[in-house]
Structure 1
Amino acid sequence: MSSRAAFVALAAGLLVPAAAASLSACAPITSYSGFQAIESDPKDVKIGTDTKSTVRGRLGSPSATGTFDPNTWFYMNQLKSRVAFKRPEVVARNVVAITFNKDSETVESVNSFTLKDGKVVAFNGRETPTRGRELTILEQILGNVGRGSMLPQDDESVPGNRPGDRRN
């Protein structure tokens, strides 16, 4: 085998693993967070027959409960994907809302929401200014003139002073 053919074979042998490694470096990294349906799915809850205790026994504690109505339970999960240095992107999100009857604690409704049902909320980053007294530099420098004496006080009966302590 000539030296040129050996060099080409060696270069090809080194380039194939390098190309495979560079392609695998761009593979997305996925992370799963939230409720994981292992043995049963929240969508399988039966309306009218299941109660809070059977739902908790089957699915576990909810991810969240309703702020104004504790009879609404939410089971949430999401899947994020990240490629290299880019920001993580939410690929899938599932929210199951289970509503219970207040009196009998049986399931009234089971609603499923996905990422498509979500809405983007405009965040307003402005702050409400609070008007207080704004001091000038001169007022800050001369503000403590006349408020106290510059000599140490010998009055040890003031609360918070230790005997023999000259600091104020």
Structure 2
Amino acid sequence: MFRSVAFAALAAGLLATSACAPITTYSGFQAIDASPKEVKVGEDTKSTVRARLGSPSVVSTFEDDVWFYIAQVKEKIAFRKPVVVNREVVSIRFNEETEVVEAVNQYGLEDGKVIAYNDRETPTRGRELTILEQLLGNVGRGGMLPRDDETVPGSRPGDRR
């Protein structure tokens, strides 16, 4: 009897601790054969970088000569929001004419800035209607039924419905 109770308690304890184990997700650039940090300034070109690392995660919006390779790791415990544990951003700048690497910069999670943004909808001018105003908005206006002197779209002259 005592062994079965102890076994049940041990199984419940193991189950409870396994439920609290973090779920780790990896997203972005995954370095398999080569790392973006191994790119050599003055030696590598766009074609050699693309052959070694593949397509970049992002190309700069304003300059086509800046490539970014981005990777991040998130952990989620139970029902909580995911937390970014690690982020690596490597930017590679190329010369416009020769397409040779000019600079390789590496940024981490500590280099980022938290930006406060409004994740709701863009506010518009005007008045918002309540549910009752929407449902009862046309009551009393007389616009629900057609009048006899008006022609209703889809009806023939002299047709009475």
Normalising by structure 2, we get a TM-score of: 0.79
Aligned residues: 147
Equivalent AA in structure 2 for residue 76 of structure 1 = I
2:61 corresponding residue in structure 1: 67
1:121 corresponding residue in structure 2: 115
Measure the CA separation in 1 of the matches of 2:143 and 2:12. 70
1:24 corresponding residue in structure 2: 18
Q: Give the direction of change, closer, same or farther, for the CA distance of 1:21–1:94 in structure 2 (3 Å limit).
A: same
The alpha carbon displacement at 1:99 in A equals 0.4
Give yes or no for the alignment of 1:11 onto 2:13.
no
Give yes or no for the alignment of 1:76 onto 2:70.
yes
Q: Write the mapping of 1:43-62 to structure 2, written as runs, cut at 5 A.
A: 43-62=37-56
Unaligned 5+ runs, structure 1: 1-6, 155-165
Secondary structure of 2:56 counterpart: coil
Equivalent AA in structure 1 for residue 55 of structure 2 = S
| RMSD (CA atoms) | 2.9
The alpha carbon displacement at 1:10 in A equals 2.4
Provide the identity percentage: 45
The alpha carbon displacement at 1:12 in A equals 1.5
2:134 corresponding residue in structure 1: none
Equivalent AA in structure 2 for residue 38 of structure 1 = I
The structure whose Rg is larger is: 1
Unaligned 5+ runs, structure 2: 128-136
Give yes or no for the alignment of 1:109 onto 2:103.
yes
Give yes or no for the alignment of 1:37 onto 2:39.
no
The alpha carbon displacement at 1:18 in A equals 1.9
The alpha carbon displacement at 1:128 in A equals 4.2
The alpha carbon displacement at 1:101 in A equals 0.3
Aligned equivalent of 2:82, options 80, 88, 92: 88
